[in-house]
Amino acid sequence: MAQQDMHDDPQQLELLRVARIGRAQGLKGEVTVRLYTDDPEWRFEPDSVLYSQDGEAEYIVEGSRTFKDRWILKLEGVDDRNAAEALNGVELYGEVDDAEDMLEADEWYPKDLIGLEARLVEGNGLGLPAGQVVGKVVNVVDSPAQSLLKIRLTEPVVTGQNSKGEDVVEKTALVPFVEELVPDIDLEEQYLTLDPPGGLIPGL
């Protein structure tokens, strides 16, 4: 179960969301998890330490396994179904110290993405010029299914009129943060590329 104040200074941790605990699995304290990481084998190794969002609670991985494309975790101190069910909905965060490790695991801190210029990728499905600037990332929104990039559009678009006859201006767009739609991220040059389908981003 969660252990309090095990880290010297929890507030100094930089944490990345890796999973959300779902339903209990069986009677021995195992839980299913929804993944937010591309490298669960590394994240869920025995004795790995996961954290609550504020870094104040620790969850130590006792064991992990897969079953029908789902990951199942056994956390230390969670030894029966009641204890497992009590964790339903808890989000687990992992600490990453090395930027190169993050690149290899294809993981990013939201703060690294905010402020990046969003450009169209070469050979995009819309047939538009490569490098065309769409806007700037202003937020990373977590939804139950996936993370979304909130992009402030370079050119706001009139998408219709409201009941009063006033123009409705779309100033932002939400883009699912998946490799198919966001193929490249260059933190050094401060941009990312997009390959959006038609209709996802107003005006494109």
The answer on 183 and 117 residing in a single domain is yes
- If one counts the domains in the chain, the total is 2
In a 13 Å sphere around the CA of 29, the CA atoms on its Cβ side amount to: 13
The reply to whether 5 falls in a domain is no
Residue 30 confidence (pLDDT):
96
The answer on 47 and 23 residing in a single domain is yes
The reply to whether 62 falls in a domain is yes
Residue 55 confidence (pLDDT):
84
The reply to whether 166 falls in a domain is yes
The answer on 83 and 32 residing in a single domain is yes
The answer for 10, left when phi > 0, alpha when psi is -120 to 50, beta otherwise, is alpha
The reply to whether 42 falls in a domain is yes
The answer on 182 and 150 residing in a single domain is yes
**pTM of this structure:** 0.53
Structural domain of residue 58, as residue ranges? 15-95
CATH of the domain at 27: 2.40.30.60
φ, ψ for residue 195 (rounded to 5)?
Answer: -130, 70
The answer on 172 and 132 residing in a single domain is yes
Q: Whole-angstrom Cα distance, residue 185 to residue 98?
A: 17
The answer on 130 and 65 residing in a single domain is no
CATH of the domain at 121: 2.30.30.240
192 vs 1, 32, 108, 124, 137, CA distance in Å? 39, 33, 12, 13, 9
The answer on 75 and 130 residing in a single domain is no
Q: Whole-angstrom Cα distance, residue 178 to residue 149?
A: 10
Q: Say if residues 173 and 153 touch (Cβ distance below 8 Å).
A: yes
Of the residues 43, 61, 95, the one at which a domain ends: 95
Q: Whole-angstrom Cα distance, residue 152 to residue 115?
A: 10
The reply to whether 202 falls in a domain is no
The reply to whether 76 falls in a domain is yes
Which residues touch 102 (CB under 8 Å, ≥6 apart)? 16, 96, 108, 109
Residue 37 confidence (pLDDT):
82
The answer on 116 and 71 residing in a single domain is no
pLDDT in tens, 111-167: 789 999 999 999 999 999 999 999 999 998 877 677 899 999 998 877 777 788 777
Q: Whole-angstrom Cα distance, residue 43 to residue 30?
A: 16
Radius of gyration of the chain (CA): 20
The answer on 120 and 84 residing in a single domain is no
The answer on 173 and 115 residing in a single domain is yes
Q: What is the pLDDT along the chain (204 residues), one digit of tens a residue?
A: 443 333 444 345 678 889 999 999 999 999 999 998 877 888 899 999 999 988 889 999 999 999 888 899 999 999 999 999 999 999 999 876 555 555 555 667 777 899 999 999 999 999 999 999 999 999 988 776 778 999 999 988 777 777 887 777 889 999 999 889 999 999 889 999 999 999 999 988
Q: Whole-angstrom Cα distance, residue 129 to residue 12?
A: 43
171-187 core/surface letters (b: 16 or more CB in 10 A; e: else): eebebebeeebbeebee
Q: Whole-angstrom Cα distance, residue 22 to residue 32?
A: 5
Residue 116 confidence (pLDDT):
96
The answer on 91 and 147 residing in a single domain is no
Q: Say if residues 185 and 116 touch (Cβ distance below 8 Å).
A: yes
Residue 166 confidence (pLDDT):
79
In the block, which residue shows the tokens 């703060």? Answer: 111
Distance of CA 1 to the CA centre of its chain: 24
